[in-house]
Amino acid sequence: MKKFLLLLTVTLTTISAYANLGDDRADSAQRYGQPASVYGNYANYQTGNWLITEWFNSAGYAVDIAYYKRNGTISQKEITKLQNANVSSASTSWYPITPHGDTTKAVARIWLSNENDYRCEIGKTRLFEDKRWFSYIELSTVAGHLEMVQYNQEHQQHRDDVPRKANNDDEEVPL
């Protein structure tokens, strides 16, 4: 647990401006300019070595933010800086939960704050049908994450209609 808390207290030095939980679309545009793409409640931004995906709730606020590093692994310092920029209290303590999902697409560890206000997911995933694995950290409010999951389930049929290429070549075996 101490190792995880240390992991969550390190700061990100390579992103000069942060997408923050609670930002509205105007705040995000002010930080990054116009999004590279928008799909429903999602907005994607590209800056330096990072792809940042924000999900906006029905009130228009970012409640789930994922930071994907294009090259390399996210460092302890980077994780901590992102954690501090997004979670209201630096002294928040966390407990692990068991992730569920398709490990051929993503491998992660997930924690909830002891108050069950925040969710933190750190792992590797495949993006855009790429064979490579990308490091990521996803930070969210628990309520916002649940709203996003419900939104995704409601919109799943549209995504299922889009043909996808099968990708069975593992360049890295999930742990």
Predicted local confidence at residue 18, as pLDDT:
60
**Strand residue runs (E) in the chain:** 37-39, 42-47, 50-56, 62-69, 94-97, 106-113, 118-125, 134-141
Range 162-165, long-range pairs (CB < 8 A, 24+ positions): 164/129, 165/129
Instruction: State the pLDDT at residue 159.
Output: 56
Alpha-carbon separation of residue 99 from 26, 39, 111, 114, 117 (angstroms): 33, 25, 9, 17, 18
Contact call for residues 115 and 141 (beta carbons, < 8 A) = no
Give me the pLDDT at residue 90, please: 54
Q: What is the pLDDT of residue 5?
A: 32
Q: Where are the domains of the chain?
A: 2-160
* Calpha distance 137→40 (Å, rounded): 21
Write down the pLDDT at residue 115: 87
**Nearest-CA neighbor of 87 among 4, 145, 7, 9?**
9
Residues in the chain, pLDDT under 50:
1-17, 164-175
